[in-house]
Structure 1
Amino acid sequence: MKDYIFEIQLKVRDYECDIQGVVNNAVYQNYLEHARHEYLHSKAISFKELTEQGILLMVSRIEMDFKNSLTSGDVFSVKLWIERQGVKMVFFEDIYRLSDNALCLKARVEAIAKIDGKLTRGEVFETLNL
């Protein structure tokens, strides 16, 4: 495993939990996406501006392995590192509950890029210094 290159801390809100009192599985994708967008901001890359320029960064595949549940009020950290694989940029994202450092989720998110509607060979990731 590589070293993490970015980390963001968040807190579970009540409405993110399901009837069982744990974070709904679909909400974890929001956490992961928020971390990726904040990572781009930390690199002075605006997702909105890229879109306005006709550069679309899109998720093509997500794999999530649920390890431990988060519950209302839990403070947690999303940590990530990235790797270029062919036309894809792969984000490896892990979520840890801070109170006990428990690993709650391991994810692999594959992203592709289109420019003016055409799939690229991933060269845009290099120009963005990702």
Structure 2
Amino acid sequence: MKDYIFEIQLKVRDYECDIQGVVNNAVYQSYLEHARHEYLLSMDKSFKELTAQGVLLMVSRIEMDFKQSLTSTDVFSVQLRTERQGLKLVFFQDIVRLSDQALCLKAKVEVIAKVNDKLSRGEIFDTLGI
């Protein structure tokens, strides 16, 4: 898993593909988000609980570089690592098709946090241990 701190395996479902038979571009964002949610759950954190505590984690920017297409029934992994950059927590995420280890997508997802309706300076990420 290189320098990744979390990985989840998923499988492409038919309805996620467009008329060309490849995964629709918008679906990749769902894969990335699902991996981030599962990462938090693996650390005994959940968006629902954080929200109830007045902590809102929000995506402020996403960069996605599409390398190769996934197609129906492909099994793939979403791998991630995090890095603090000022008030942001940055998720570096890769999607890799498992059958041939092809890199399908590289993403950089920047997340900010509001705590009790005020923008955090990033210290909340340290407090949460993420």
> TM range, normalised to the smaller chain?
over 0.9
Query: How far has the Cα of 1:117 moved from its partner?
Result: 1.3
Structure 1 vs Structure 2: percent identity of aligned residues? 79
What amino acid does structure 1 have at the position aligned with 2:6? Answer: F
Paired residues, number: 129
Distance in 2, matches of 1:53 and 1:129, equals 16
TM-score (norm 2): 0.98
> What is the alpha-carbon distance in structure 1 between the residues aligned to residue 49 and residue 129 of structure 2?
16
CA–CA distance in structure 1, aligned partners of residues 51 and 122 of structure 2: 16
Offset, 1:46? 1.3
Q: Work out the CA distance in 2 between the residues paired with 1:91 and 1:33.
A: 10
Structure 1: unaligned runs, 5 residues or longer: none
Give, in whole Å, the separation in 2 of the partners of 1:93 and 1:129.
19
RMSD: 0.7
One-letter amino acid of the counterpart of residue 89, structure 1 = L
Give the structure 2 partner of residue 71 of structure 1: 71
Residue 21 (structure 1) shift: 0.3
Moved over 6 A (4+): none
TM-score by length of 1: 0.98
| Counterpart position of 2:82 | 82
Q: Which residue number in structure 2 is paired with residue 33 of structure 1?
A: 33
* TM-aligned CA deviation for residue 29 of structure 1: 0.2
